[in-house]
Structure 1
Amino acid sequence: MNFDRIEPSPGQESVWDYPRPPRLEQSTKHVKIVFNQVTIADTRRAQRVLETSHPPYYYISPEDIQMQYLHKSSRGSWCEWKGQAGYYTVTVGEKEVADAAWFYPNPVPAFEAIRDYVAFYPRLMDACYVDGELVQAQEGIFYGGWITKDIVGPFKGGIGTWGW
């Protein structure tokens, strides 16, 4: 990947300072997800995954999600760091989006803290917020990172970032 790293200003983080393999950390930031005018998730106790070149992924406890709107799908995927993932379709009223969120039912020991926690693709939700700020979705259909004003890149997933 050919890129110019953006130097973070005070109070910002560069995704190029995040570790590989990724690190899991607790977050007390207010995370809120809205779909079809319904708040389907609202928490101040998310888990945040930080990985080189990616904006953070937020994982939310099922206790802080309106789980009646999530239905397991048949999709699965494999993460070299976290293990086998399952997916949820999100349905609120007549609006539905398949495979809009993912979870790890049996993560590797380093990621045990996110067992059954759910991460949402912000590009598939109507709005995702971190401390009241509307999140920008990481580019690319495979990625689900959350970009806020305190995160700088460039980020993997945009044009010209494949194959690095």
Structure 2
Amino acid sequence: MRRHERIEPGPGQESVWDYPRPPRVEPSTELVEVEVGGVVVASTRTSWRVLETSHPPTYYLPRTAFLDGALTPTRGDSWCEWKGRASYYDLHGGDAVARHAAWTYQRPMPGFEAIADAIAVMPGLVDRCTVDGETVLAQPGDFYGGWITARVVGPFKGEPGTLGW
């Protein structure tokens, strides 16, 4: 699928092709929850969506949304041209561990201060993520952390043939 095959959003939907580049951070009051090992390890109505052209939103939750002991720092980091250096966490719930499933920007670059020390989660690496009760789909590929709900339409970066977008 080529990016010029933009899916037209219906009522109440957003096209990821209307999102800006560089990305924008916006607050959200939607109920956002994360489950690991059959346990809701994070729940909040105070989060931030990072919106970037061709990507479904990535939700960042305040650290206080996570149960005590749910986050364990792990090795590795990555670099985002917009947000800076990310560090990673394993997520623990019940008897399960979702390895390398969450990340944070402790000192994000200018324009992204709102998400400093907030935690994002890869929905494809945990049991379930929900937004206002809707189970999200993970953004395609194994690198991006976008959350696909009925609210957003693509095509999405990460699908086959989108590497050069």
Alpha-carbon distance between aligned partners in 2 of 1:67 and 1:50, rounded to the nearest angstrom: 29
Moved more, 115-124 or 96-105: 96-105
Q: Mind listing any 5+ residue stretches in structure 2 that lack a counterpart?
A: none
What is aligned with 1:108? 109
Alpha-carbon distance between aligned partners in 1 of 2:68 and 2:162, rounded to the nearest angstrom: 35
What is aligned with 1:132? 133
**Which digits, 9 at most, give the CA deviation of each residue in 1:12-71, with x for residues without a partner?**
000000000000000011101111011111011101000000000000001111141211
Once the two structures are TM-superposed, the CA of residue 93 in structure 1 deviates from its matched residue by 4.0
Alpha-carbon distance between aligned partners in 1 of 2:68 and 2:154, rounded to the nearest angstrom: 33
Q: Counterpart of 2:100 in 1: which secondary structure?
A: strand
Equivalences for residues 47-58 of structure 1 within 5 A? 47-58=48-59
Q: Counterpart of 1:16 in 2: which secondary structure?
A: helix
Percent identity between the two aligned chains: 55
Alpha-carbon distance between aligned partners in 1 of 2:117 and 2:21, rounded to the nearest angstrom: 23
Would you say 1:26 and 2:20 are equivalent positions? no
TM-score w.r.t. length of structure 1: 0.96
Equivalences for residues 31-110 of structure 1 within 5 A? 31-110=32-111
Counterpart residue type for residue 2 of structure 2: N
Q: Counterpart of 1:102 in 2: which secondary structure?
A: strand
What is aligned with 1:161? 162
What is aligned with 1:2? 2
Counterpart residue type for residue 103 of structure 2: W
Alpha-carbon distance between aligned partners in 2 of 1:160 and 1:8, rounded to the nearest angstrom: 22
Once the two structures are TM-superposed, the CA of residue 108 in structure 1 deviates from its matched residue by 1.0
Q: Counterpart of 2:56 in 1: which secondary structure?
A: strand
Alpha-carbon distance between aligned partners in 1 of 2:119 and 2:79, rounded to the nearest angstrom: 15
Alpha-carbon distance between aligned partners in 2 of 1:67 and 1:56, rounded to the nearest angstrom: 26
Alpha-carbon distance between aligned partners in 2 of 1:155 and 1:51, rounded to the nearest angstrom: 11
Alpha-carbon distance between aligned partners in 2 of 1:103 and 1:67, rounded to the nearest angstrom: 17
Query: Does the aligned pair in 1 maintain the 2:139–2:158 contact within 8 Å?
Result: yes
Once the two structures are TM-superposed, the CA of residue 95 in structure 1 deviates from its matched residue by 1.7
Count of residues in Structure 1 that have an aligned counterpart in Structure 2? 164
Once the two structures are TM-superposed, the CA of residue 2 in structure 1 deviates from its matched residue by 2.1
| RMSD (CA atoms) | 1.1
Q: Mind listing any 5+ residue stretches in structure 1 that lack a counterpart?
A: none
Structure 1 runs, 4 residues or longer, greater than 3 Å off:
none
Counterpart residue type for residue 143 of structure 1: Y
